[in-house]
Amino acid sequence: MEDKESPLDTPLVYADRLRIRHPGPAKWFSHPPHIDGGATERWEDPGFRNVYAEILKGNWKAHDPYDLQTRLNVNSNIYKRPGIFRTFQGWLAMSDTGPNEGTLQVFPDVILSSSYLILRPFFRLVSPPVSDDPLDPKNWAFDVSTPDFPGIFPEGQYFHGPRINDESHPHLKVSECMVSVPRVKPGDMVYWHCDLIHSVEAEHLDPNDSSVMYIPAVPATAQNLAYLDKQKDHFLRGAPPPDFPQNQGEIGFQYLGNDDDIVHPVARKAMGLPVPASA
């Protein structure tokens, strides 16, 4: 019997961003500590709850964030916000950059941060507080009666987040614990786990630009294939990708990239374009 190809064996192309961070003393707050790939869906979707089953059962140390099979049927877009599932997020360095130069920062423990994030809505600060220390366990009470999801914000018909800060998730101390990635050179690739809290440094103190091209790992799940079909149509028209602000983009431009420019069968499959039978 021929083995069935796993979604994890087929990488897809996701049109992401090229970021050029110019130097300067002004602080940049565009990407504070956050997690992509689903907001309230982490608690609402049965598939997502299955990913965090050990955490929800109280056995958080047994949570395996690298078990990707449990993530293949997750619905991270209950509210029909266009998007994709990344097994890993990543970027390709386009310039020299390092700590204090507008580079990536990450929280160093994905099991700990995921466990805290998933359980956080079930606890509230007591009022009045028992002590002046907000981290004192006596200041917190188990509470499943409130509908609050700290760090999640409404955004039109969608939800945005999770965004992590010292007020919403005080025990993580993200103002102190975010770690900058080491110095990289053009061509270096950096990947981080899809559940990892990450941010971009507020300050860029180097005299040169800090530029990266975002290239995540995108497997051929049902959700991603549906997105790819839309992205393919946008590419052929010269329009922005489906989850970008929708404007004219490159519609009507001369020398627009088209179907004929994607030649190799692997590239065509990754772009969602028809692959010739002889390939």
pLDDT along the chain (279 residues), means of 10: 66 90 77 92 94 96 93 86 87 95 95 97 93 92 92 85 95 96 97 96 90 93 91 94 89 91 94 85
Question: Which residue type does 172 have?
Answer: L
Angle at 117 between CA 103 and CA 60, to 5 degrees: 115
Q: What is the pLDDT of residue 2?
A: 46
Q: For residues 101 and 201, give the distance between their C-alpha atoms in angstroms, rounded to a whole number.
A: 7
Q: For residues 274 and 13, give the distance between their C-alpha atoms in angstroms, rounded to a whole number.
A: 14
Structural domains for the chain: 1-16+222-279 (no CATH), 18-221 (2.60.120.330)
Joined tokens for residue 89: 């997020």
* Cβ within 8 Å of residue 198, ≥6 positions away: 31, 33, 34, 35, 89, 104, 105, 106, 107, 192
Q: What is the pLDDT of residue 279?
A: 63
